[in-house]
């Protein structure tokens, strides 16, 4: 068993075009580290090293359809069979953020 992770178009350059990859970890942070091992470069697109390694503001990650921001963020615990979805925010606007 493993954790299934859906990868958005923009990050498929790190997964050889795969839409779904598998990884493992007991927390989201652990899963991201595991993904980084098999898909180098992906971690930097998910977490912001300049902001203490927190999740990037404009990347949404869901565990079993729940936004991880409501599950403890990187601390969110995972178990085998969980479904993780990564989706970049659709956002913008006329003024600088």
Partner 1 sequence: MLKIDQATYDAIVAHAKRDHPDEACGIVAGPEGSDRPERFVEMVNAAGSPTFYEFDSTDLLHLYKEMDANDEEPVVIYHSHTATEAYPSRTDIGLAMEPNAHYVLVSTREHGNNPGPVEFRSYRIVDGDVTEEEVRVEPAEA
Interface ranges with partner 1 (CB under 8 A): 8-10, 58, 60, 62, 65, 67, 69, 85, 87-97
Distance CA 65, CA 14 (A): 23
Nearer residue to partner 1 within complex by CB, 26 or 82 = 82
Nearer residue to partner 1 within complex by CB, 49 or 65 = 65
Helix (H, G, I), strand (E, B) or coil at 25: coil
- State in angstroms the smallest separation of the CB of 32 from partner 1: 18
Distance CA 84, CA 66 (A): 9
Half-sphere exposure of 55 (CA within 13 A, CB side): 24
Nearest partner of 54 among 43, 62, 64, judged by Cα? 43
- State in angstroms the smallest separation of the CB of 78 from partner 1: 17
- State in angstroms the smallest separation of the CB of 10 from partner 1: 5
Nearer residue to partner 1 within complex by CB, 19 or 37 = 19
């Amino acid at each position: 068993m493993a954790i299934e992770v859906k990868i958005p178009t923009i990050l498929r350059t790190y997964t050889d075009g795969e839409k779904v990859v598998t990884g493992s970890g007991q927390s989201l942070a652990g899963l991201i580290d595991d993904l980084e091992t098999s898909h180098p470069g992906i971690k930097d697109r998910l977490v912001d090293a300049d902001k203490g390694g927190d999740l990037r503001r404009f990347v949404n990650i869901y565990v079993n359809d729940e936004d991880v921001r409501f599950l403890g963020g990187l601390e969110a615990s995972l178990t085998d069979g969980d479904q993780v979805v990564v989706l970049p925010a659709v956002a913008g606007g006329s003024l600088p953020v």
